[in-house]
Amino acid sequence: MGKNQDEEEGNLSHNTKAVISLDERFVMQTYSRFPVVPVRAKGVKVWDCDGKEYIDCVSGIAVLNVGHRHPRILKVLKEQAEQLMHISNHFYIEQQAKASEYLAKIAPKPLEKTFWGNSGTEAVEAALKLAIKYTGKHEFIAAQGSFHGRTMGALATTWNEHYRAPYAPFGINAKFVPFNDLQAIKEAVSKDTAGIILEPVQGQGGVNIPSNGYLEAVRELCDEKEILLIFDEVQTGFGRTGKLWAGEHWNVVPDIMPLAKALGGGISSGACIAKEEIAKAFDHGAHGTTFGGNPLACALSLEAMKIVVEENLSERAAELGKKAVKQLKELKEDLEIIKDVRGIGLLIGIEVSKDAKKLCLEMIKKGILITYTAEKVIRVIPPLVIKEEELEKALNIIAEGFKQH
Ligand SMILES: Cc1ncc(COP(=O)(O)O)c(C=O)c1O
């Protein structure tokens, strides 16, 4: 934050200023944050430290599909915390087994076996390691605009050969090809390709939706060349795009599917589910983690998955998303500042020609939490439990924010 923060962002309260000052002093400054200090939330509403109310159009970046503090999540949180929060993967964990069973039930068939971690990047790491272990190859094809996480190097610096050797040499060899370009993927495949990793719909890349036929053809290519298809559904999974899995829009089933974000219902949880035959490559000691799959995270993951299914949140996302995209496209007709509107379910991107951060700040001041990605794409990703009138209100604030510029 610069010196003229108040002038740029409106008069900040003493509380907000105090938290910002602590953050700047003691937190590594890796995030460019908006000057809001949320302290409480319920459903789709969030309140900051001054009592100001917001409609959440961020969902903790596609985490809170079931909304903040869903009563069923709170109940399980309390009950499980009173019994057992953490133990160790050296023992059998009932909640992990049950959450895996349920995930296998709702995942695209025949994905069946799960490895549990704590985050999206860990889920992707597990997927890449599994693909290396299964194929014995190290090259991956990924898409331009992709986002799969930020880990690096921990295993490369782990001394014990037992953990390290099956995956060495380190540094994944990734070839990047334009998203939605089948020919480019075909040309990138080599004898060393272990797999192709794609987000079926790119999230951080700016909400990029592939053309019909692309993912289907990539699946065929993988089958023909005997390479693995990894769909990173960390952001798109659990109903966000209007289907339980984004791959379902095109009836394409990957071989391995990393998941996280909405999985834990608000608590960190990650999972990598794969076909049985591939999953076998992860034998004893092949991968592991201290916290992944702990009883609390798994009890909550199971409940969050059930809520998404039992409350038909995919269908809700499809229906509400369609209306929102229609409305935003109409707005685009009137406003030059909006360059494009892309949406699938409640994963919506509004590409703008002006400073997206400034626009978000305006909208935040008017009472919604909203962020942007890929520099110029404002993302609307509310909890899937949002009521129609709440979404309407949020869209009105977005429209007002645009009209002011
Ligand atoms: C598609 C995708 N994969 C992986 C990740 C990384 O997840 P995490 O931030 O939980 O490590 C993200 C995060 O935004 C994501 O959108």
Asked if residue 4 is part of any domain, the answer here is: no
For residue 243, being part of any structural domain is answered with yes
- Is residue 3 assigned to a domain? no
346 lines ligand 1 (CB under 6 A): no
State whether 206 and 256 are in the same domain.
yes
| pLDDT band for position 39 (cuts 50, 70, 90) | very high
Task: Check pLDDT > 80 for residue 201.
Answer: yes
Residue 12 has pLDDT above 80, yes or no: yes
Task: Indicate if 215 and 111 belong to the same structural domain.
Answer: yes
Task: Please tell me whether residues 117 and 244 are part of one structural domain.
Answer: yes
Q: For residue 19, tell me if it sits in a domain.
A: no
241 lines ligand 1 (CB under 6 A): no
Which of 30, 58, 140, 234, when mutated, tests ligand 1's pocket best, judged by the most ligand atoms within 8 Å of its CB?
Answer: 234
Identify which of 147, 257, 269 to mutate to test ligand 1's pocket (most ligand atoms within 8 A of the CB).
Answer: 147
CA atoms within 13 A on the CB side of 166: 17
Give the integer Cα–Cα distance in Å for 58 and 300. Answer: 21
* Residue whose CA is at the smallest distance from ligand 1 atom 8: 120
Residue-level pLDDT at 390: 98
Structure confidence at residue 378 (pLDDT) = 98
Q: Are residues 160 and 85 in the same domain?
A: yes
Give the residue with greater pLDDT, 335 vs 155.
335
State yes or no: pLDDT of 8 exceeds 90: no
**Helices 313-334 and 295-310: crossing angle, nearest 10°?**
70
Domain that holds residue 198: 71-310
Averaged pLDDT score across all residues of the chain: 95
Residue 269 CB–ligand 1 contact under 6 Å: no
Of 254, 289, 310, the last residue of a domain is 310
Edge to edge, the sheet with strand 53-56 lists 38-42, 45-48, 53-56, 368-369
Taking Cα atoms as reference points, which of 265, 257, 255, 326 lies closest to residue 296? 265
Query: What is the CATH number for 290?
Result: 3.40.640.10
Assess whether 87 and 225 both reside in one domain. yes
Judge if the beta carbon of residue 199 lies within 6 A of ligand 1: yes
Q: Is the CB of residue 260 less than 8 Å from the CB of residue 120? A: yes
On whether both 57 and 92 belong to a single domain, the answer is no
Same domain, 165 and 262: yes
Whether 21 is covered by a domain: the verdict is: no
Identify whether 140 is a catalytic site residue.
no
**How confident is the model over 368-380, as pLDDT tens digits?**
999 999 999 999 9
Residue 301 CA, ligand 1 centroid: distance in Å: 17
172 and 122 fall within a common domain:
yes
| Omega of the bond leading into 110 within 30 degrees of 0 (cis) | yes
Is the minimum distance from the CB of 135 to ligand 1 under 6 angstroms? no
Tokens of 247: 């791959």
Q: Residue 292: which of 149, 114, 156 has the closest Cα?
A: 114
Residue 7 located in a structural domain: no
Average pLDDT of the residues in 342-357:
97
Residue 235 CA to residue 256 CA, distance in Å, equals: 15
Range of weakest confidence among 78-82, 151-155, 218-222: 151-155
For residue 231, give the DSSP letter. Answer: E
pLDDT over threshold 50, residue 1: no
Which CATH number do you get for residue 61? Answer: 3.90.1150.10
**Residue 334 reports pLDDT greater than 60:** yes
Shared domain for 181 and 287, answered yes or no, is yes
Structure tokens belonging to residue 45: 């509403």
CA atoms of 385 and 321, how far apart (whole Å): 12
**Which of the 8 DSSP states describes residue 43?**
B
Q: Which residue in this structure is represented by tokens 């609307």?
A: 380
- In the sheet with 371-373, reading across from the earlier edge strand, the strands are 338-344, 347-352, 377-380, 371-373
Is 0.85 topped by the overall pTM?
yes
Shared domain for 321 and 338, answered yes or no, is yes
- The letter for the amino acid at 398 is I
The yes-or-no verdict on residue 116 having pLDDT over 80 is: yes
Share of the chain above pLDDT 90, in %: 91
Domains of the chain: total: 2
User: Which residue type is seen at 150?
Assistant: R
Instruction: Work out the average pLDDT over 232-260.
Output: 98
Does the C-beta of 352 come closer than 6 Å to ligand 1?
Answer: no
Average pLDDT over residues 28-40: 97
Q: How many Å separate Cα 92 from the centre of its chain? A: 28
Q: What is the C-alpha separation between 390 and 340, in angstroms, rounded?
A: 23
* Banded pLDDT at 9 (limits 50, 70, 90): low
pLDDT confidence of residue 2: 46
pLDDT at 172: 84
Asked if residue 57 is part of any domain, the answer here is: yes
Average pLDDT over residues 305-328: 98
- Residue 341, judged by CB atoms within 10 A of its CB (0-12, 13-18, 19+), counts as buried
Look up residue 11 and give its DSSP letter.
P
Same domain, 176 and 216: yes
Ligand 1 atom with minimal separation from the 149 CA:
6
Per-residue pLDDT at 5 exceeds 90: no
In a domain, 81, yes or no: yes
How close is the Cα of 323 to the center of ligand 1, in Å? 27
Closest CA to 151 of 128, 184, 185: 128
Decide if 232 is catalytic.
Answer: yes
Residue 341 has pLDDT above 90, yes or no: yes
- Note whether 62 and 81 are same-domain residues: no
Q: Is there an atom of ligand 1 within 6 Å of 401 CB?
A: no
C-alpha closest to that of 274 among 93, 75, 135: 135
* Residue at which a domain ends, from 267, 283, 310: 310
Of 277, 294, 310, the residue that ends a domain is 310
- C-alpha 291/C-alpha 87 separation (Å) is 9
Assign 3-class secondary structure to 101-170. HHHHHHCCCCEEEEEEECCHHHHHHHHHHHHHHHHCCCEEEEECCCCCCCCCCCHHHCCCHHHHHHHCCC
> How many C-beta atoms lie closer than 10 Å to residue 358's C-beta?
15
